[in-house]
C-alpha cells in the first residue's frame, strides 16, 4: 500500500514539475540576438493594440465592454505586471490608445499585437503573438526587436484563470510582462 502511495506522490510531483517547465514565452525571431537593455531605469510601455472591432469574435456582449477590457489589460495588466517584475525601475505607460510616447522614460517599449487566438469556453489553450520593439528614448534608435508568442497558462495560482477568455488573455499579458522583464533585469 505504501508503494502505491509513494508512486502516486512521485507521479503527481513529476506532473506538477513538468507543467511548471512548459514555455510561457517564446521568441520567434529577434534582432540582435543578445540585447543589452538592463541599464535603463525608467521605462515607458506603449499601448497593446488589441482590435476594438473584434468584440464579437472574443465573445463580448458589446464593443464598449471589450474596449473597457482592452484598457484594463493595458493599464491594470501589462503596466502593473511590468512594475511588479521590475522592482527598482520606474515603469510608465499609455493610458489610452491615442496616447503617444512623449519622452517620459529612458526606454520606450512599443508593442504591436499580431494575433490573439479567439478561443472561448473553458479548458482551452490559446496564445498571443506580439511584435515588441525597444527604443532608446533619447536618441529614438531601435535597440532590439522581437516577435514573440505568449501562452495562456501561467504558474499556480494564476493557472485557474485559464477557464475563461478573459483569464487566458490576462495570463498571456502576464507572461508577456514576465518575458519582457527578463530582457530588462
CA dist 170 → 4, 70, 112, 154, 161 (Å): 39, 10, 17, 10, 8
Whether residue 16 is predicted with pLDDT greater than 50 in this model: the reply is no
Whether residue 18 is predicted with pLDDT greater than 70 in this model: the reply is no
Q: How many CA atoms lie within 13 A of 63 on its CB side?
A: 4
pLDDT in tens, 161-178: 777 888 899 999 999 999
Q: What is the pLDDT of residue 3?
A: 63
Whether residue 152 is predicted with pLDDT greater than 70 in this model: the reply is yes
Whether residue 6 is predicted with pLDDT greater than 70 in this model: the reply is no
Q: What is the pLDDT of residue 163?
A: 76
Interacting residues of 58 by C-beta distance below 8 A, sequence separation 6+: 66, 116, 118, 120, 165
Please state, in angstroms and rounded to a whole number, the distance separating the CA atoms of residues 27 and 183. Answer: 12
* Mean per-residue pLDDT, 2-26: 55
Whether residue 4 is predicted with pLDDT greater than 70 in this model: the reply is no
Whether residue 124 is predicted with pLDDT greater than 50 in this model: the reply is yes
Q: What is the pLDDT of residue 180?
A: 96
CATH topology of domain 25-184: Rossmann fold (3.40.50)
Whether residue 15 is predicted with pLDDT greater than 50 in this model: the reply is no
pLDDT > 90: what percent of the chain?
Answer: 70
- pLDDT band at residue 120, thresholds of 50, 70 and 90? low
Interacting residues of 171 by C-beta distance below 8 A, sequence separation 6+: 151, 152, 153, 154, 158, 159, 161, 162
Amino acid at each position: 500500500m505504501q508503494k502505491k502511495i509513494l508512486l502516486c506522490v512521485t507521479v503527481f510531483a513529476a506532473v506538477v514539475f513538468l507543467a511548471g517547465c512548459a514555455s510561457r514565452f517564446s521568441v520567434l525571431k529577434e534582432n540582435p540576438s543578445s540585447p543589452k537593455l538592463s541599464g535603463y531605469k525608467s521605462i515607458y510601455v506603449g499601448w497593446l493594440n488589441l482590435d476594438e472591432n473584434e468584440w464579437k469574435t472574443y465573445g463580448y456582449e458589446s464593443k464598449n465592454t471589450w474596449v473597457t477590457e482592452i484598457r484594463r489589460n493595458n493599464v491594470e495588466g501589462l503596466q502593473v505586471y511590468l512594475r511588479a517584475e521590475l522592482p527598482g525601475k520606474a515603469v510608465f505607460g499609455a493610458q489610452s490608445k491615442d496616447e503617444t510616447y512623449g519622452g517620459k522614460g529612458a526606454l520606450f517599449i512599443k508593442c504591436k499585437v499580431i494575433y490573439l487566438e479567439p478561443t472561448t469556453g473553458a479548458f482551452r489553450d490559446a496564445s498571443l503573438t506580439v511584435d515588441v520593439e525597444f527604443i532608446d528614448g533619447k536618441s529614438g534608435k531601435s535597440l532590439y526587436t522581437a516577435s514573440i508568442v505568449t501562452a495562456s497558462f501561467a504558474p499556480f495560482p494564476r493557472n485557474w484563470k485559464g477557464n475563461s477568455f478573459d483569464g487566458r488573455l490576462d495570463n498571456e499579458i502576464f507572461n508577456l510582462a514576465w518575458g519582457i522583464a527578463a530582457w530588462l533585469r
